[in-house]
Amino acid sequence: MEREFDTRSIHWMEPKREVHGSLTPPLYLSSTFVFPTAEAGEARFAGLEDGMIYSRLGNPTVAVLEQAVADLEQGEAGLAFGSGMGAISAVLIAMVESGDHILCSEGLYGCTYGLLAMLKQKFKVDFSLIDMSDPAKVAAAMRPETKVVYVETPINPTLKLVDLKAVSEIAHAHGAQLVVDNTFLSPALQQPLLLGADVVVHSATKYLGGHGDLIAGVAVGRKAFLDEVRMSTLKDIGAVMAPMEAWLILRGLKTLPVRMERHCANAMKVAEYLAGHEKVTRVDYPGLADFPQKELAERQMRGPGGVISFEVATLEAGRKVLNSVRLAQLAVSLGEATTLIQHPASMTHSVVPPEVRREEMGISDGLIRISVGLEAAQDIIADLEQALAEI
């Protein structure tokens, strides 16, 4: 019988799989693993026999995490990395070669943009940013050399959405693969593989871990492709997840659905408050009734998430808010118990040229991003109230 997501987030390891019956997976802090015979070692290196070799190639604790996230994303297999950017870079490098083109959603995490800029400058892999809200624009932007369509939805930090089903059909019709960064929602709220994506990537640092105490990344997709990535860009470049991080994320997965419910509920209250504030000129949040893509949000997502972007009049006004918060913490990242607030233009997206950031990504100098935490919503709102009063 197929179990519900909330159940699967807890029961990702059957007790019979662990030899001693441990309820939680053992933490295997071993760099290498002993072969029973020389023949067994040879067979494992040749891929003819299952078994551990060396923790850069695979680790028992990390393997449990890979299976767990793959199950939650409804994918064939998972692959763990030392960071979200480790996952993104390994997947993209495995998919393209010199002369290829990557078509991207108009908004991207700043380091993803930096990776693409490096691939273009050093390895002649071109990329372009377009507004993917209109599928016709996506189809028109496809080139013969487009091998990957790369999407964030919701987009960081403007919270724009991309219709994954429509874009996946366009990508596949042109012989390209669709890669989706699902960090902002987690599989609790969105499952891109079920909408046609080929690979899903996560910064597991965020909602999957959920407590701000680790750095990690995960990719989920077809097993044959991820096996190739494991033995190429992961093995040879080396962005490997440590067993302790895998163990902590597995612990976080057990509370993922409950945490996401609270993140969404709190964010909705905060967004409604900000939308009515006289000093806030714009609020971006998929849960608001007047969100431009409300129908798509309700069709594609099980909840609006815990991240809000809002705009104040000037860069100086934004700095005043950031320097005046007392409960919210002035820090980058998102998806943990603590409410975090940051300024994309000068922080997470500072690597993006100003003209690209403003004109192509829609990130103004006065835009503020807040990752709404698990505190009492009225306390978060009170903190923003006193900070906005300082403008």
Query: Which residues are known catalytic residues?
Result: 56, 109, 181, 206
Q: How far is CA 250 from the centre of its chain?
A: 16
CA 100 to chain centre: 24
Q: Which helix (H) or strand (E) holds 244?
A: helix 243-253
Contact predicate 38/69, CB 8 Å: no
Pick from 370, 368, 350, 367: nearest CA to 267: 370
How far is the C-alpha of 301 from the C-alpha of 299, rounded, in Å? 6
Q: Side chain identity at 244, as an amino acid letter? A: M
State both tokens at 160. Answer: 């724009």
Q: Give SS3 for 378.
A: helix
How would you classify the pairing of strands 329-330 and 77-81? unpaired
Residue 360: how many other CB atoms lie within 10 Å: 17
